[in-house]
Chain A
Amino acid sequence: MAFAAQAQTGRPTPEQLEFFETRIRPVLAKNCYSCHGANSKSAAGGLFLTTQAALLQGGQSGPAVSPGKPDESLLIKAVRYEGRRMPPAGKLPEAVIADLEKWVAMGAPHARESGTAWTESSIDVAKGRQTWAFQTPRLPASPAVKNGKWSKEIIDRLLLAKMEAKRLTPAPDADKATLLRRVSFDLTGLPPTPADLQAFLNDKRPDAYARLVDRLLASERFGERWGRHWLDVARYAESVGRGRNYVMPVAWRYRDWVIDAFNQDKPYNQFVMEQIAGDLLASTSDKQRDQQLIATAFLSLGSHDLIEQNPQMFRMDVIDEQIHATSKAFLGLTVGCARCHDHKFDPIPTADYYAMAGIFQSTEMLSGLQRRPRDNVSYFNMDLLARLKSVPAEDQPAWMADPLKVEEFNKLLAQINDARNGRFLAMVPVKQRKQMLNATPQQRQQKIRQTVTQLLVQLDRYELPHDLAMAVREGRAADSRIHIKGDPKQLGPSMPRGFVQVASTPGQTGFEIRPNESGRLQLARWLARDDHPLTARVMVNRIWHHLFGRGIVATVDNFGKMGEAPTHPELLDYLAVRFVKQGWSTKKMVREIVLSRAYRMSTAHLERNHNVDPDNNLFWRQNRRRLEVEALRDSLLQIAGKLDLSRPQGSPVFGFRRGFDIGRGAGAQMKDYSVSMNTRSVYVPVVRNFLPAMYEVFDFPEPSEVKGRREVTTVPTQALFLVNSTFAIQQSKRAAEQLLAGNAGASGRERVQRAYREVLAREARADEIEKSLQFLDAIRSEAGAAPDEKTAWARFYQALFASAEFRYRS
């Protein structure tokens, strides 16, 4: 009895645990867990043997053990084959049974006995709501400023008031050429052409700048630039990455959807809703239905380890990735931290995590990829993609019009499906079946792999149908149980599906989830509501970040305690309120900010300001910013006259072999598309683990993570790329060719001027022209075979491309 008491009240001693770990757990794991373990689909007889609580609770026949009383314990009776006979495969050795008896006599100490019970959270959510980030934004009053003449705009006044409090003065306005280059890069990701420069410098109308801004906002280049910003947040990629890096051949539909959304100025709250629950929103046409469906690829684009052995762990990892991406992208919160324990810093209890997990657990991911199939090769599965309705039959690949080909294709699919699901013998010729039955598991596996690989090679010869899309759909609706310490083997109570409490208004209604719904639709509406404390704030901050080089909250993806506090909370609130009031219009928000005087300031270094605020936290000047790799590449191509502004049909990834891990395949997969394609960089495929070399060198973000703020590094490899790479050399030569062909009679001086306008979007100063001409002369007079004229000018262009001024936007 003393033993029993110990099992229920005290912690097991180290010796007891040792005994359990070495003598008992291995026995349970080997002989019992396949039917009574946490991984078994449903415990036989309702009995789990994985925790002490489960042992004591027992199954349909009652408690499995009576601690301290082996003779009365069902488990012991069963292993002795008294009545119930367990394990059914054969009686355990006597020594093992003796160990089990001894263990029950000890009180059945179990490693999972202590410290694993689900404990209620100690987080005070109501108190958490008092933090600024969880309060609904309020419109601030326009502050009083001393220098009222500087600007009447509220954005400017909110900034100026803070500057004045520290006795700082705003930097002078940028000159026109600088402003043109700045706003062109910021809005379209491309430099102004010499013609743009001339037109803007000559436009003396008072609203010349506003007209320029409107023209840029209306250009399709806007969506390509701002769409790419969002793709950083959406961890967009066209392969799954990790252990088995299979392609996502139709991910590009999401990319195009994002670009179109920015070009159409889709209201941001609608943009959010479609990505979470586009498949559940009403539509009035097939086209609209398809577009909304494509948007949900946001939830399917994550990087997952397809080779994960444990299906439950895989499921929870997918859900975790979806929670992580959703909460960081839309809420600026790291809800993912609450998977294993209450959030250490933010008022997010584990319960919130599993409330969201229930939503995604009730959702099926349609990524076209599945976790490890039996054959270990057919990870790509067309059936796991959504079908679009608006693609007409004549747009399908030609083979689909040929009934014979279709039949063959379907036969291949069926055969692969058999192998994938372990119905392998069905596809082996009758003569070989007997031989396969006698084969060792390894031989069998090898044969399966070989056969399926051959089938996949054949299947890959068929172009994929053109009506496929990544998406999600509703699954079996159910709440998720809390996984104690994130362990799928230790389940706590079920959490009703729901949202992050601290960002919810107490008593809010209208978001009730019916039993047969996943709750995604409600989650989407909850995020998109006008009074949400975070949705608008997080997005306007992202916009600000892209226009000023630093967010009002510098950590754009983290509005929690571990993020940085806003430097201008009132300004952030103003922008958020304004954003919602203007119908969540991104273009209107961008327009208002770039028209502010603050945006138009120069990057001038003011010593007095600098001494007080060296990091420019108060935005007393514009920030000089490095061009991203896309802007750099697109600029080079544009200046070389090679930039193709049309949108490519889909992506080269669509034609990649689907049946093979990228990296094992050769040819198409390994090509550097940043060099071979002349389209804008946003259309260059993003293949995980195989980013183009240029992208790696110039800080392209890791596409498995939500990354609203890119790193900016300065390393010699960037310098080496600009002075030595074939790409840089080629664009320099093309630019030189154009220059020389453009105006045959132009003087060297005029040509230098032209090159400065093309590359730096400004007039060259006299000393710069002199220096340039000297350089050209020096090249021409090189000893030996002196380079020709084109080469001399190419080297000059390359120097401009490599210059710090070109690599920045001021």
Chain B
Amino acid sequence: MNRRQLLQSLGSGLGYLAFAGMASAAKQGYQSPLAPRAAHFPARAKRVIFLFMQGAPSQHETFDYNPELKAAAEKSNGALIAPAFAFKPSGQSGLPVSELFPNLASHADDLCLLNGMHTDSPAHPQATIQMHTGSFNFVRPSMGAWVVYGLGTENQNLPGFITVNPAALGGATNYGSAFLPASYQGTPYFTRTGKLPNISNPEMAPEQQRKQIDLIQSMNQDYLSRAKQDAEVEGIIESYEMAFRMQSAVPGILDWKSEPAETRKLYGLDNRVTQGFGTQCLLARRLAESGVRFIEVSHGNWDHHNALRQRITQTSAEIDKPIAGLLADLKARGMLQDTLVVWGGEFGRTTNGQNGDGRNHNNRGFTMWMAGAGVKGGMRYGACDPVSGSAVSGKVHLHDLHATILHLMGLDHTRLTYRYGGRDFRLTDVHGNVVKEILG
């Protein structure tokens, strides 16, 4: 049965496919744009969890151990400021991790620190959008949309790309599909509302609603057959089926409250400071487990132009336990080996001081880290000049980061293209090199 025949059968009048039967549609050869597709080469990671730290965390206080800065600061007549916190060698590897992250430090052997990151813009909106799409001058598909376009997704009852509490800055551009088909765009989910909007009908039970959707689909089918051919109308027909499946599957998956108390504690849900981001991380694991291909969770308030010591203590405390919990939980479930966890902000911060105890924007050098599927743990890659703060060795531009993430997903960033407006587009445009040195 091909796609057209299936769509026609939906409106055949001889009893449309019963709603329970829709799940088996995939087995009958029905090709959804979200159906899983083969990678270019064997993948190390099946899914990505991107922990996005909006505002640009300071590398000097978190994951870029820089003892020379302290000495330089003392001699700089107040121009430079020393790292505000001590670093401790952690794990078997002795990876230096800031004292702000006591919990995460216990996973040091899983972390691959990218200390030589750099990007093009020192402004939040631009850099945030570029981090997500590779471009800030133009509206381009988000990295998550590219991944789902390349690989499809494992659970047809869920969107392939979900972003939890997305950052307001950049808005929907950060998870948009731009010129890629809309099925690849990210679905935003906000923990404060606790459910996806309109996910259930306030008045009809699912069996009742199925009758209505069957009528809609039958009308749509008539419309399509009169139009003879229209991919968009086919898309609309599909969207109703997906919507129907989503509303039965989603509430259960989002119900993190069903987790045992022990697990909730692991993510810091029992503590006011860590509860918010802990919930997001726990949701990320539930979504990952359910077969969502690309998951993003966002955390904000990292723009520490002043009162850095106090503010970064707070923001770090908010994420330390939840992320450590996420890594531990993934590991316990045997998922860390095929889940790629990526942490970082849109850029980093200067070695120079600002407003007394604060640091300014620095796009020339910053730190991100990866953990899990296919990356070496307990490793520092790249470095910044200890005084100027610019990346000098093992430099990784975010195009390189994107290329590497795709590579770990089994996709060649130069081959993952989409023809639009007369040319082939890629996430990495004409740039990007896979950082081979960090591959496990």
**Chain A residues proximal to chain B, CB less than 8 Å:** 18, 21-22, 26-27, 29-30, 92-93, 95-96, 242, 305, 309, 337, 442, 555, 564, 603, 605, 610, 624, 626, 689, 693, 696, 702, 712-721, 723-726, 729, 768, 771-772, 775, 778-779, 782, 795-796, 798-800, 802-805, 807-808
Tell me whether chain A's interface is mostly helix, strand or loop, or mixed. Answer: helix
Taken together as a complex, chains A and B put the C-alpha atoms of A211 and B338 apart, in Å, by: 67
Contact for A804 among B201, B219, B421, CB less than 8 A: B219
Minimum CB distance partner of B230 in chain A: A624
Contacts A716-B159, A803-B220, A804-B220 known; 13 new A-B pairs at CB < 8 A: A27-B77, A29-B352, A30-B79, A92-B77, A624-B230, A702-B171, A702-B173, A717-B243, A723-B201, A723-B216, A782-B208, A799-B212, A802-B240
Q: Which residues of A contact B196 (CB under 8 A)?
A: 717, 720
Minimum CB distance partner of B199 in chain A: A720
Taken together as a complex, chains A and B put the C-alpha atoms of A324 and B242 apart, in Å, by: 40
CB interface residues, B 247-267, toward A, < 8 Å: 247
Q: Which residues of A contact B78 (CB under 8 A)?
A: 30
Q: Which residues of A contact B215 (CB under 8 A)?
A: 771-772, 775, 796, 799
Q: Which residues of A contact B137 (CB under 8 A)?
A: 337
Q: Which residues of B contact A442 (CB under 8 A)?
A: 307
Contact for B185 among A603, A702, A713, A802, CB less than 8 A: A713
Taken together as a complex, chains A and B put the C-alpha atoms of A702 and B139 apart, in Å, by: 11
Decide if A93 touches B77 in the complex (CB within 8 Å): yes
Decide if B197 touches A717 in the complex (CB within 8 Å): yes
- A22, A305, A771, A795: which has the most chain B beta carbons within 10 Å? A22
Contact for B198 among A29, A725, A803, A805, CB less than 8 A: A725
Asked if B165 is an interface residue, CB under 8 A from chain A, the answer is no
Taken together as a complex, chains A and B put the C-alpha atoms of A713 and B172 apart, in Å, by: 13
Decide if B72 touches A768 in the complex (CB within 8 Å): no
Decide if A696 touches B172 in the complex (CB within 8 Å): yes
Decide if B182 touches A724 in the complex (CB within 8 Å): no
Q: Beyond A714-B182, A717-B197, is A689–B80 a contact (Cβ under 8 Å)?
A: no
CB interface residues, B 395-422, toward A, < 8 Å: 421-422
Q: Mark B197-228, 1 if CB is under 8 A from A, else 0.
A: 11111111000110111011011101110011
Minimum CB distance partner of A625 in chain B: B232
Taken together as a complex, chains A and B put the C-alpha atoms of A782 and B204 apart, in Å, by: 11
Decide if B77 touches A805 in the complex (CB within 8 Å): no
Taken together as a complex, chains A and B put the C-alpha atoms of A605 and B229 apart, in Å, by: 7
How many residue pairs link A and B with beta carbons under 8 A? The number is 149
Q: Which residues of B contact A724 (CB under 8 A)?
A: 198-202, 247
Q: Which residues of A contact B42 (CB under 8 A)?
A: none
Asked if B26 is an interface residue, CB under 8 A from chain A, the answer is no
CB interface residues, B 152-186, toward A, < 8 Å: 159, 168, 171-173, 177, 182-183, 185
Decide if A714 touches B77 in the complex (CB within 8 Å): no
CB interface residues, B 5-31, toward A, < 8 Å: 13
Q: Which residues of B contact A721 (CB under 8 A)?
A: 197-198
Decide if B388 touches A719 in the complex (CB within 8 Å): no
Asked if B233 is an interface residue, CB under 8 A from chain A, the answer is yes
Question: How many B residues, CB 8 Å from partner?
Answer: 66
Q: Beyond A26-B352, A702-B172, is A775–B211 a contact (Cβ under 8 Å)?
A: yes
Q: Which residues of B contact A768 (CB under 8 A)?
A: 219, 222
Nearest CB of chain A from residue B56's CB, rounded to whole Å: 14
Asked if B387 is an interface residue, CB under 8 A from chain A, the answer is yes
Minimum CB distance partner of B389 in chain A: A21
Taken together as a complex, chains A and B put the C-alpha atoms of A803 and B78 apart, in Å, by: 67
Decide if B183 touches A715 in the complex (CB within 8 Å): yes
Q: Which residues of A contact B38 (CB under 8 A)?
A: none
Minimum CB distance partner of B387 in chain A: A22
Decide if B203 touches A729 in the complex (CB within 8 Å): yes
Q: Which residues of B contact A782 (CB under 8 A)?
A: 208
Decide if A804 touches B233 in the complex (CB within 8 Å): yes
Taken together as a complex, chains A and B put the C-alpha atoms of A242 and B330 apart, in Å, by: 36
Asked if B125 is an interface residue, CB under 8 A from chain A, the answer is yes
Minimum CB distance partner of B386 in chain A: A22
Taken together as a complex, chains A and B put the C-alpha atoms of A778 and B204 apart, in Å, by: 14
**Chain B residues proximal to chain A, CB less than 8 Å:** 13, 72, 75-80, 125, 137, 159, 168, 171-173, 177, 182-183, 185, 187, 196-204, 208-209, 211-213, 215-216, 218-220, 222-224, 227-230, 232-233, 235-240, 242-243, 246-247, 305, 307, 352, 385, 387-388, 421-422
Minimum CB distance partner of B168 in chain A: A689
Decide if A27 touches B79 in the complex (CB within 8 Å): yes
Taken together as a complex, chains A and B put the C-alpha atoms of A775 and B209 apart, in Å, by: 12
Taken together as a complex, chains A and B put the C-alpha atoms of A540 and B172 apart, in Å, by: 31
Contact for B212 among A305, A626, A723, A807, CB less than 8 A: A723
Decide if A26 touches B79 in the complex (CB within 8 Å): yes
7 A–B contacts, CB within 8 A, in A order: A714-B232, A714-B239, A724-B201, A778-B211, A779-B208, A799-B215, A802-B216
Taken together as a complex, chains A and B put the C-alpha atoms of A253 and B435 apart, in Å, by: 55
Decide if A805 touches B421 in the complex (CB within 8 Å): no
Q: Beyond A693-B197, A717-B197, A782-B208, is A22–B182 a contact (Cβ under 8 Å)?
A: no
Taken together as a complex, chains A and B put the C-alpha atoms of A96 and B422 apart, in Å, by: 58
Q: Beyond A26-B79, A27-B79, A564-B422, is A719–B218 a contact (Cβ under 8 Å)?
A: no
Nearest CB of chain B from residue A166's CB, rounded to whole Å: 19
Decide if B237 touches A713 in the complex (CB within 8 Å): no
Decide if A26 touches B182 in the complex (CB within 8 Å): no
Q: Beyond A713-B182, A720-B198, A779-B211, is A610–B79 a contact (Cβ under 8 Å)?
A: no
Q: Which residues of A contact B159 (CB under 8 A)?
A: 716
Minimum CB distance partner of A775 in chain B: B215
Q: Which residues of B contact A337 (CB under 8 A)?
A: 137
Q: Which residues of A contact B240 (CB under 8 A)?
A: 716, 719, 723, 802
Decide if B212 touches A26 in the complex (CB within 8 Å): no
Decide if B213 touches A715 in the complex (CB within 8 Å): no
Q: Beyond A718-B239, A725-B198, is A771–B218 a contact (Cβ under 8 Å)?
A: yes
Q: Which residues of A contact B352 (CB under 8 A)?
A: 26, 29
Q: Which residues of A contact B232 (CB under 8 A)?
A: 624, 626, 712, 714
Q: Which residues of B contact A805 (CB under 8 A)?
A: 219-220, 223
Taken together as a complex, chains A and B put the C-alpha atoms of A696 and B216 apart, in Å, by: 23
Taken together as a complex, chains A and B put the C-alpha atoms of A800 and B232 apart, in Å, by: 18
Q: Which residues of A contact B233 (CB under 8 A)?
A: 804, 808
Decide if B200 touches A605 in the complex (CB within 8 Å): no
Taken together as a complex, chains A and B put the C-alpha atoms of A775 and B422 apart, in Å, by: 47
Minimum CB distance partner of B356 in chain A: A441
Taken together as a complex, chains A and B put the C-alpha atoms of A717 and B203 apart, in Å, by: 18
Q: Beyond A22-B387, A22-B388, is A804–B237 a contact (Cβ under 8 Å)?
A: yes
Q: Which residues of A contact B77 (CB under 8 A)?
A: 26-27, 30, 92-93, 96
Contact for A795 among B80, B182, B212, CB less than 8 A: B212
Taken together as a complex, chains A and B put the C-alpha atoms of A799 and B201 apart, in Å, by: 14
Contact for A719 among B13, B173, B242, CB less than 8 A: B242
Q: Which residues of B contact A795 (CB under 8 A)?
A: 204, 212
Q: Which residues of B contact A95 (CB under 8 A)?
A: 75
Taken together as a complex, chains A and B put the C-alpha atoms of A795 and B307 apart, in Å, by: 58
Taken together as a complex, chains A and B put the C-alpha atoms of A775 and B215 apart, in Å, by: 7
Q: Beyond A29-B79, A771-B218, is A723–B211 a contact (Cβ under 8 Å)?
A: no
Taken together as a complex, chains A and B put the C-alpha atoms of A799 and B219 apart, in Å, by: 9
Q: Beyond A702-B171, A719-B243, is A798–B198 a contact (Cβ under 8 Å)?
A: no
